[in-house]
Amino acid sequence: MPVSATNWADEVDGEDQPQTFTDANGITTTIEYRTNEDGKKVKVTRRTQKKLIHDVVNKAVAARKKWPKFGKEKGNRPGPDPATTNVGDNIKLKLSSTGDVVQDVDEKHEAMKAQLQNKKILCRICKGDHFTTKCPYKDSLGMEDAAAPVAAAEEAAPEEQQTGSKYIAPHMRAGASGPKSGDRDSMREKRDEQPTLRVTNLSEDVTEGDVSELFKRFGHISRVFLARDRETNQCKGFAFVSFTMREDAQRALEAIDGRGYDNLILRVEWAR
């Protein structure tokens, strides 16, 4: 990094230079400074990991790869141009033999509908039985408290009673027993109740499958969490395994602790 320059002018100059460094995982980070359309300087950080893949291809295919670009691409550098080629979000193609592909799409919709069926929907503007956002008088009567989240439409009724000037956070409001926050708490409690083991000194190549393979012989496993490096997606060396039965977990702890696995000696202890 050339930022250790003595003089501020040098420092500014140095900042404009692209910086490149490679870390221990083989990830190269490139930092560039560019001026965008609005004339503002932006910092562009790119992290790349190079993998060399050998592939045998047809001679004609290899020859075509060397063709110069033409048409609108004429004179452009080889390699995909981000203006025309992008990588989309990860999409899972779940193949199933049971024909349940169709249901899984509409399930969410149905669940949402069922959830709303028992709830009384009340408009905050005209007191009609529709969502506030869908109110036909929205523009004419105006929103009383537009700050309130729209999603909380079903709790509109109690809210009306305590229309004070003071802001009350959604989860503190009367009637808002907080299905969401309550859910989360109960989830955590449930998780805490489960006997969980912490497994450390795992090797880098271990996957969730390996861990559950190793532990499932002792009893039913409810959850396996394997800590992974965010960039390399490799195991960070520890995992949590939750059993449904405490006895199973105890047996697993006694059996696996101190055992060798992938040239390393595993350490298993109760998770806190």
Partner 1 sequence: MRPILLQGHERSLTQIKYNREGDLLFSVSKDHVVNAWFSHNGERLGTYEGHVGAIWTVDVNSSSTLLISGSADNTAKLWDVSNGKCLKSWEFNTAVRCVQFSEDDKLVLIVTEPRMGYPATLQIFNVENSTTETVSSEPIYDFHPEGPKITVAAWGALNRYIVAGRENGSVALIDPKSGEYISTNKVHELTLTDLQMSADRTYFITASKDKSAKVLETESLEVLKTYTTDTPLNSAAIMPKHQEFVVVGGGQEAMDVTTTSSRQGKFECRFWHKVLEEEVGRVRGHFGPINTIAIHPDGRSFASGGEDGYVRVHHFDDDFFTFKFQI
Chain contacts with partner 1 (rule: CB under 8 A) = 57-58, 60-61, 64-65, 67-74, 78-81, 83-99, 101-102, 105, 109
Largest interatomic CA distance in the chain = 78
Please identify, using beta-carbon distances, which residue of 52 and 83 lies nearer to partner 1.
83
Tokens encoding 95:
């193949």
Q: Give the Cβ contact number of residue 139 at 10 Å.
A: 9
Dihedral sign, Cα of residue 175, residue 179, residue 181, residue 182: positive
With tokens 């090797």, the residue in question is: 203
Q: How far is the CB of 112 from partner 1 (least distance, A)?
A: 11
Q: How far is the CB of 270 from partner 1 (least distance, A)?
A: 34
Q: How far is the CB of 257 from partner 1 (least distance, A)?
A: 33
CA distances from 244 to 41, 103, 146, 247 (A): 55, 30, 46, 9
Q: How far is the CB of 111 from partner 1 (least distance, A)?
A: 13
Q: How far is the CB of 135 from partner 1 (least distance, A)?
A: 21
Q: Are 31 and 45 in contact (CB under 8 A)?
A: yes
Please identify, using beta-carbon distances, which residue of 57 and 150 lies nearer to partner 1.
57
Please identify, using beta-carbon distances, which residue of 99 and 260 lies nearer to partner 1.
99
d(CA 236, CA 226): 8
Q: Are 263 and 203 in contact (CB under 8 A)?
A: yes
Please identify, using beta-carbon distances, which residue of 102 and 169 lies nearer to partner 1.
102
